Chains A and B, each alone.
Chain A
């Protein structure tokens, strides 16, 4: 493991943002960190980036505490796009970040790769949201750090820019580097990630390879109100409702009807990523 959270817990007042979370990355891995908003993704990243200190457990990057500046030589991260000092030029910001690392990427190559060559002399305040996003992602790679951490790297990017970011992520992984990224898009996780970590309510609820994720992603959710004594194989109780995650909803409902289970308020819809992955964790 080149970076990991080990049983990390982080509280803010009475809120538990991350609860006993454990996951890590190996060399050459691209790991997608998924989960609903407020699940603890941002706090998990903050722990790994050394911005926050876990209350319990620890965050480790290359065997050391990321709260130490030297440890962070191994990490490249993205700022939030609206965060840039507006008066600085793209080249000045890129050079400022490069100056912190021992083996930074060549500035012109980096700008070229993220389609920023023509914007190089522009002040960041004058760039569009998508252009700033590209600068933000480029900064994560600028230092040539082995671990790249990307918080929603392709949000608000057009197709070309998204492709450039995907290529950079793949190339980094292929060259033995590691990437930890958050995303709301399952297709992005599928396209890029060698492994997916799902976090919900501050806990890691799944940690699996992409094939398992793909298998789980084809599920449909069947939900209905059922009397407390109704017995349905493979179902989970949810108050007075029962829910099932199945591959073939038609066959499942037909079976329920044959079994004489009363189906009130029947609801059938594709499982969300979180549900699919939740079902997956129970099987693992």
Chain B
């Protein structure tokens, strides 16, 4: 456990000192929210806030896992770390911890700004529920990030991550409420993992009975992405460390 924390601290420190990472991941979702949601907040502002919090959290998952792993695969530093007495599992656990720190910061900042600048509000219980949904709901995207990290070349990872991230966020209804999306997008939207996340997040705002559909979808995607990640990992291990 101590080693996991040590590695997580080193990863976090390194990223904190790169403004090129820190600024986009932490500030962009909040900036988008301030530019595009705050001026026309309307009565769905709380729904928009929770959806944007999801947008902020999965951004960290995409970039820290996808781009981070893809870059590391090309780096001799990672090969050196493999000569230390530490297994691959602990390094991955450290990455999860470090990503959690950034995800909490990115989503937290957005929520604080949203509450301060709009009428968005939730009861105490709902806030906890939202935190839980964000935490669990981000897992499939972290796995997609890992898969991307092992399949994409180092140079391609960033543009691919951006493309996937932004198009999934839009089509899944994290920026615009799903009912306001253009018809062709609405046709594919229900089959996207981001839409499942948007639905799960929206459910925290309304006092509806628990709806299992988005969670089953997220679970399905999580399994699929985990397989893809495991396959990519094995392929990469075979190339570099067999």
| Minimum distance in angstroms from A209 CB to a CB of chain B | 28
B75 at the interface (CB under 8 A from A): yes
Are B85 and A70 in contact (CB-based, < 8 A)? yes
For residue A73, CB closer than 8 A to chain B, the reply is yes
* Complex interface: chain B residues within 8 A of A143 (CB): 84
Taken together as a complex, chains A and B put the C-alpha atoms of A73 and B83 apart, in Å, by: 9
Query: Is there contact, CB below 8 Å, between A96 and B10?
Result: yes
Cβ–Cβ contact B82 & A52, under 8 A:
no
A-B contact count (CB 8 A): 67
Within 8 Å by CB of B7, from A49, A69, A70, A96, lies: A96
Q: Which of A70-111 contact B (CB under 8 A)?
A: 70-73, 75, 77-80, 82-85, 87-88, 92, 95-97, 99-101
Q: Of B13-21, B169-177, B222-230, which binds chain A? A: B13-21
A77 CA / B81 CA spacing, docked (Å): 10
**Chain B residues, CB < 8 A from A149:** 83
Asked if residues B13 and A88 are in contact (CB atoms below 8 Å), the reply is yes
Asked if A51 and B2 make an inter-chain contact with CB atoms under 8 angstroms apart, the answer reads no
- Bits for A142-157, please: 1 = Cβ < 8 Å to B, else 0: 0100000100000000
The reply to whether B18 and A79 form a contact with Cβ atoms under 8 Å apart is no
Is A24 positioned at the interface, with any CB of B under 8 Å from its CB? Answer: no
Query: A residues within 8 Å of B by Cβ?
Result: 49-53, 69-73, 75, 77-80, 82-85, 87-88, 92, 95-97, 99-101, 123, 143, 149
Pairs of residues from A and B, 8 with the lowest C-beta to C-beta distance, nearest first? A79-B80, A83-B76, A87-B17, A83-B77, A72-B85, A73-B85, A77-B83, A80-B76
Identify the B interface with A (CB < 8 A).
Answer: 2-3, 6-7, 10, 13-14, 17-18, 75-77, 79-80, 82-87, 241-242
